[in-house]
Amino acid sequence: MDEKLKKEAKKPPQKQFYTVKLEVMAPVELTLRVYAETPQEAIDMVSRNPLPPLSGPPRPNIARMKRIKATVYKAGTTIYYLIKNYTR
């Protein structure tokens, strides 16, 4: 009986899939095509909400990304196991 418990205790932890949701403030370059008479009018159209449709996919600049918070879930569940806050 003791040998069986010792064998179970010696097993390394099994790897599992986890879902990690990472909240970030990432500088993203958006490409917008705006129909305007002047450059100032084009900037005004982009500055107000809602934004016009994108003319290309967003291009994130990962090197300048600022991490805010990471939450780890077991894959396929909604129960979180670990939360790490990066900002203080």
Convert the pLDDT of each residue in 24-80 to its tens digit. Answer: 788 888 788 888 888 888 888 888 867 777 788 888 888 888 888 888 888 888 888
Confidence of residue 88 (pLDDT cuts 50, 70, 90): low
Provide the whole-model pTM: 0.52
Closest listed residue to residue 80, CA positions, set 27, 25, 29, 23? 23
For the chain, how far is it from start to end, CA to CA, in angstroms?
50
Instruction: Using the predicted structure, report yes or no on whether residue 1 has a pLDDT greater than 70.
Output: no
**Burial profile 11-37: b = 16 or more Cβ within 10 angstroms, e = fewer:** eeeeeeeeeeeeeeeeeeeeeeeeeee
| The pLDDT value given to residue 32 | 81
